[in-house]
Every structure is written in structure tokens, then in C-alpha cells.
Chain A
Amino acid sequence: DSGVTQTPKHLITATGQRVTLRCSPRSGDLSVYWYQQSLDQGLQFLIQYYNGEERAKGNILERFSAQQFPDLHSELNLSSLELGDSALYFCASTYGTTNTGELFFGEGSRLTVL
């Protein structure tokens, strides 16, 4: 158990819809990262938050947005969903902001868009 909690574990929805994925980081961690893993793809970095502020952006679509709340949990909002958005979405956390520390990953939220 990494200490990172993601909900929901599975989600099935239709094209054009909007969903929210939630992540609770490990106790004490200030950084939250979101990654997308599509079929046969590696983990694609989407966005990072540190202590409530956006820290870095990766290959995140404009239809996607995220935020980190004062209690440090984070939400990833996916809107106008397309079939290609079907993927496993991972949240990871770490204490600081550097890239030399290990990331602790949640079990992921599997999104299926029909």
C-alpha cells in the first residue's frame, strides 16, 4: 500500500461526458502528479501540483484540468470525453518538488469511454 488513494477505481461513461478523478496523496506529501497510461503506451505526464499551486504541465489536453485543494487532495477533470481518452489515470505523490525522489503511485482509475 503506497498510501496514495485514488477514486473511483473504475469508471465507464459515454463520449461527450465529463468525469472527475480524485486523488488523496500520502500523508505529508505536498506534490501531486497525474499520469495517463493508454493501451500500449508508457506513463504520460499530465500535470503536477505542489502545495496547491500548479508546478509543471506535460501533455495535458485543453479539455482536461486539475486542481489541488488546501487539504492537498487533487482532482483531475476530464471533459468532452472522446473514445481515445479511455486509459488508466495514475496519481502519484512525493514530499518535495525535485525529480530525484521516488514517486508513490496510487492504484489508478480506469476510465472507459464508450
Chain B
Amino acid sequence: DQQVKQNSPSLSVQEGRISILNCDYTNSMFDYFLWYKKYPAEGPTFLISISSIKDKNEDGRFTVFLNKSAKHLSLHIVPSQPGDSAVYFCAASATGGGADGLTFGKGTHLIIQP
């Protein structure tokens, strides 16, 4: 049972436009969410996070939005750049439930077209 779902395996966006990556979760205990970025032959690297007490967190070109009622979060990248081409993983955790690791989605492969 996938508790964190990224329903788009891939997404193609033109350079300079906005990239929007979506993530849905089912576990109501999740209260902390993260996005990781992964290049080929490398491990995932942390990108941005958001706590459930917030609905938005921004870091430069990256903004994460959280809609708790819909159990949905999204990552916006504006403007998209060629170096943003990578696989993006959404992850979630239940901080009150102990250190049980992050639950990851299957990832979305973002391709930025020149």
C-alpha cells in the first residue's frame, strides 16, 4: 500500500517555465514532508521541507505547498532550468511516531526542455 503517491512518473517542462510536481499521501499521521532530488548515479539530496503547521515554504526558486485537508503537497520550481532535470522524490514522516524512517514516493522524472 503506497502511503505516499507521485502519480506522474515523468514531466516535461520548457526551460524558463514553471514546473509543478505533485504528491499525495494517505497516512493522517504524517506531519513532516520533504522533497529530494536525484541525479543518475548519485544518491538523493535534500531539497526543501515543510512542517504540517505551515502551508507554504519557499527557498529561492523552490516552493512547497501543503494542503492538509486534501492530503496533497506540490513542489513548484520557477523558473525551471536545465540543471533541474532529475528525479524528484516526495517523502513524509510521522514525527510523533518515533524514528521509523521517511516514507518515499516512487519519484517523478522532471525533464527540462531547452
Contact = CB atoms under 8 A, between A and B. Distances in A.
Real binding pair? yes
A102 to B, nearest CB: 4
B105 A42 contact: yes
The size bracket of the interface on A is: 20 to 34
Interface residues of B, number: 29
A90 B38 CA distance: 12
Interface in A57-114: 58, 90, 92, 97-100, 102-108
8 contacts: A33-B101, A35-B104, A42-B6, A55-B99, A56-B98, A56-B101, A99-B93, A100-B32
Interface of A: 2, 4, 31, 33, 35, 40-45, 48, 50, 55-56, 58, 90, 92, 97-100, 102-108
Interface of B: 2, 4, 6, 32, 34, 36, 41-46, 49, 51, 89, 91, 93-95, 98-107
